[in-house]
Amino acid sequence: MWWWKASLMPIAHDLMRSMRAWSQSVTFSLEDGKQKKTIYALDGVRALACLGVVSFHLNLWAYVGHVWSPFLDNFGAMVSSLALIGETGVLLFFLLSGFLLFLPYAKAMLFDGDWPSLRRFYIRRIFRILPGYYVALFLMLLYLSPDYLRAANWDKVLLFLTFRMDFPATYQQLNAPFWTLAIEFQFYLLLPLVAWLMGRVVRGGSLRLRLFKMSLCLILLLAWGFLTRYWGFKLADTHQLDAVVPYSFAQMLRPYIFGTVGKFFESFAIGMFVCMLYVYLHNAPDAGRCKRRLERYSPFMLLVGLVLLFVVNIWHYYVIYMIHRAFHFLDPYQDFMESYRDIVMQDGFSIAYGVILFAILHGSRWLQRPFEWAPLRWIGFVSFSLYMWHDPFVIYFLSALLPRFQNLGWSGTAQYIVYVLWVGVTTIPLAFTLYRWVELPGMRLGEKLCKRIERTPRKLETITIQEPAPARKMPMALSGSSSSTKNAI
């Protein structure tokens, strides 16, 4: 049989080489053909966050549609809770945004780097988000909810157009994931201001002093998020603070300060805190020893983050989703858990994801490599469209297609398999298509606009420097010089 192995080995090697080349070409095309300074593992983390949200909606609607029934005994409920843990992927998205968008600001504050361009930041964010979102919004308005196009609902459409769909009037309407995009976009608008204020405090002094001051600023941002969440859930509908803020004025500010379920500044702040540590550890001259130690303990940190995530999710699962109480050993703490779950639970999830993210970023290669797997990174590239479009297809299957399979007498397992396959073969190709023909052109247009804006001042500077100085004996030369400069401008 040795000659069989000898003849098959070259074929296998050629096949592996061809698949590797194809995989690299796909990744290169999704990266838009540019060598970017990217933390590759974060593409995989973003993909898992998106797939988590998709799995949550799959399983939640399957539970509502009686395709899937969770176990309700203590041990079974622990296993069943994992089917709904994907909802927390939204918080992981917020952490990733806080981490990635704060990177240049953290470098500038800690190590006196160049301050990021305000115009470039806003242009890149606008052309990254608006094309894909507006295409999804108008298609869903036309084909899924045409009632919104009536004059009576134009005020709601305006909220969608201006990224205020986390307001109570439009919260989780039209398309459930849209409200999180409002939280993201509002964070984009505020981040340069928040970073500028932090820079006024942080810059100056030794590196350790800057690190300490930045930590205090991020703690204040986290505290602001916690206090506004507490105010929104506990005090906003009462008159307890009328002596400080009139009730009518507080209600007017509520959509902008709190929205419907909070603005999640805690999650963004934790992502920014992980970013601060990452920038310090990768740029400080004396951080090499600490990095090696963190690399050694990163698997343990990852395990701690996962355990914390599982424990908080049991709390989440117990309070919200079970009609019949699961986890009966938690019954004595029911009042506390239900009273404070909207205030504390999101912070617990965010801390858990912060620990996990920190462990991945500072882990060894064997820990990072699964998150750098090419197909997982591809999902990360198209996660924006996949995130926006999966829920309509889930709902369509359950309302239009599932009854047909139920009438045929298919088992619950078979129904669930077809259900998952339906969502996969419809939304993933659609996400790749929209990424290729809507998102990428938008990002390219934004980059071209940034380059044009950045190139114009350099041209003006060159023209001004090369222009000869006006002669003293020829007063008209001075006016001619002024005229040419105005034309250049």
Outline where 284-411 has alpha helix (H).
288-316, 334-361, 365-368, 374-381, 383-396, 402-407
pLDDT tens, position by position, 309-318: 999 998 888 7
Residue pair 385/131 in contact (Cβ under 8 Å)? The answer is no
Residue 35 has pLDDT above 60, yes or no: no
Residue 70 has pLDDT above 50, yes or no: yes
Could you tell me the CA-to-CA distances from 461 to 96, 378, 486 in Å, in that order?
38, 42, 13
Local structure of 144: helix, strand or coil: coil
pLDDT tens, position by position, 162-203: 999 999 999 999 999 999 999 999 999 999 999 999 999 999
Residue pair 343/226 in contact (Cβ under 8 Å)? The answer is yes
Q: What are phi and psi of 364, to 5 degrees?
A: -75, 175
- Work out the average pLDDT over 147-155: 92
Outline where 34-117 has alpha helix (H).
40-64, 74-81, 89-111
pLDDT tens, position by position, 310-352: 999 988 887 776 655 677 777 777 777 777 788 888 999 999 9
Query: What stretches of 172-211 adopt beta strand conformation (E)?
Result: none
Given pLDDT bands bounded at 50, 70 and 90, which one contains residue 12?
A: low
- Work out the average pLDDT over 135-152: 93
Going 330 to 332 to 338 to 340, the CA torsion angle's sign is negative
Distance, in Å, from the CA atom of 102 to the CA atom of 374, rounded to the nearest integer, reads 26
pLDDT tens, position by position, 353-412: 999 999 999 999 999 999 999 999 999 999 999 999 999 999 999 989 888 888 888 888
What single-letter amino acid sits at 100?
L
Token digits of residue 429: 């190709």
- Work out the average pLDDT over 219-235: 94
Query: Cβ atoms within 10 A of the Cβ of 289, count?
Result: 8
Could you tell me the CA-to-CA distances from 153 to 102, 159, 254, 279 in Å, in that order?
37, 10, 22, 47
To the nearest 10 degrees (0 to 180), the angle between helices 89-111 and 40-64 is 160
